[in-house]
Each structure stands twice: as structure tokens, then as C-alpha cells.
């Protein structure tokens, strides 16, 4: 049962295609599992369609139709291949780097994405805390397996954490299963080992 969702601002940015790639991948991973957010996204997209309908028409250039048909042909290309069948869609089609140890019982595997945000998988063993960090910009974490708790709540598979302030309590794995999550951030300042790894791999 999913209990934690992205904010409406994040869903709107996703719907309008303005979310940086790494953040969009985390949002899409949550959306694939969350009917509530699928429904909210449908409403946002319908609202955007109404707004477009209300725009005043503008004259088009003479070759506009030819260019439209040319682009329609481009968009018919196949989706990227599944690279990681062990991961849920759409994350399974995204290129990933290697695993890096970032402390006792915590490993990190970067997403190979472009844009103004970075992201990666974090695998943490029971009782271990996710790396300490401060926030600058948006940060999204979607749980793929296991669970963690921080000062703001308890997060399980499918849940999406979008903290609005720095964590008072670092997210700590609960239960007896390792916690696998996908995290992305626009401006997280990592501290400790993961901070050094992040600087090393750029």
C-alpha cells in the first residue's frame, strides 16, 4: 500500500517535461506503481490540453505540415532495450554505472543520465543509514524493496520521499531486509564517503 507521493508541483513538472532526467526517472518509477498519481497526472495533462485549446491560433509556415510528418516518423522509433531485467520499469531501460561501496553495508550505483540532476541506486543493509546529506533543490527517493524511516515517516516499496527540509534524522533501514532505492537530486550535498565517490565519478 503506497502512502507517500510526489508533490503536485513535481507531478506538474513531470507532466510538462521540465523535470531533469534523473528526477523524472524516479517519478516515473513511482508512477508505474501508483494509481493515485497516475490519475492525478491524467488530470494535470487534461488541464494542460484545455489550456492549449484556449490559446489563440498563430499562422504556420508553408512547410509546417511536411516538418510535422517528418517528426512523426522519428517518434515511431522503438523504446530503448531492457538493460536490467531485475529492476522495475521504466528504470530497467536506464544505463547504470558500477556499484561503489560507500561505507559499511551501503552501496551506490550511479544512473548515467544527463541534465541538471544526478541519481543512482542505493542498497543499504538492515540497520544501516543512508548517507548524510543536506538539500539544495529537489530530492526524490523511490523505494524499490525493503523500507526505511526518517524523522518524517516510514517508507516502503513504491513510496516516494520528497523532503522539503534537511533530514533531522538520516533515513535508516528498518526491518530485516536490505533496502534498495532509487534517488535523484538537483543539489544534494553529500558528505562522508559517498560525497567523495560522487566527486570521484563526477
| Binding residues for Zn ion (CB under 5 A) | 5, 34, 36-37
Which residue(s) pair with 174 in the sheet?
Answer: 147
Give min distance, CB of 157 to Zn ion, in A.
Answer: 13
Give min distance, CB of 102 to Zn ion, in A.
Answer: 28
| 12 or 102: CB nearest Zn ion | 12
Neighbouring C-alpha atoms within 13 Å toward the C-beta of 78:
4
- Rounded Cα distance, 183 and 152, in Å: 17
Give min distance, CB of 192 to Zn ion, in A.
Answer: 31
| 5 or 167: CB nearest Zn ion | 5
Residue 147: name the closest of 162, 118, 127 by CA: 127
| 2 or 106: CB nearest Zn ion | 2
Task: Answer for the pair 94, 83: CB distance below 8 angstroms, yes or no.
Answer: yes
Give min distance, CB of 200 to Zn ion, in A.
Answer: 34
Task: Answer for the pair 107, 123: CB distance below 8 angstroms, yes or no.
Answer: yes
| 30 or 128: CB nearest Zn ion | 30
Residue 149: name the closest of 123, 189, 179, 120 by CA: 179
Give min distance, CB of 155 to Zn ion, in A.
Answer: 12
Biggest CA-to-CA distance, the chain: 65
Which residue(s) pair with 118 in the sheet?
Answer: 185
| 5 or 138: CB nearest Zn ion | 5
Amino acid at each position: 500500500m503506497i502512502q507517500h507521493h510526489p508533490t503536485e508541483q513535481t507531478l506538474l513538472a513531470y507532466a510538462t517535461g521540465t523535470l531533469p532526467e534523473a528526477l523524472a526517472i524516479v517519478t516515473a518509477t513511482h508512477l508505474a506503481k501508483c494509481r493515485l498519481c497516475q490519475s492525478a497526472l491524467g488530470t494535470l495533462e487534461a488541464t494542460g490540453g484545455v489550456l492549449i485549446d484556449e490559446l489563440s491560433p498563430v499562422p504556420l509556415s508553408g512547410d509546417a505540415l511536411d516538418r510535422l510528418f517528418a517528426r512523426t516518423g522519428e517518434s515511431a522509433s522503438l523504446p530503448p532495450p531492457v538493460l536490467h531485467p531485475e529492476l522495475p520499469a521504466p528504470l530497467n531501460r536506464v544505463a547504470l554505472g558500477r556499484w561503489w561501496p560507500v561505507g559499511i553495508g551501503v552501496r551506490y550505483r550511479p544512473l548515467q543520465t544527463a541534465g541538471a540532476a544526478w541519481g543512482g541506486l542505493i542498497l543499504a543493509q538492515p540497520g544501516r543509514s543512508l548517507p548524510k546529506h543536506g538539500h539544495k533543490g529537489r530530492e526524490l527517493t523511490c523505494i524499490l524493496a525493503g523500507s526505511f524511516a526518517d524523522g518524517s515517516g516510514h517508507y516502503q516499496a513504491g513510496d516516494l520521499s520528497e523532503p522539503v527540509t534537511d533530514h533531522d534524522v538520516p533515513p535508516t533501514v528498518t526491518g530485516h531486509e536490505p533496502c534498495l532505492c532509487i534517488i535523484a537530486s538537483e543539489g544534494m550535498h553529500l558528505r562522508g564517503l559517498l560525497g567523495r565517490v560522487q566527486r570521484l565519478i563526477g
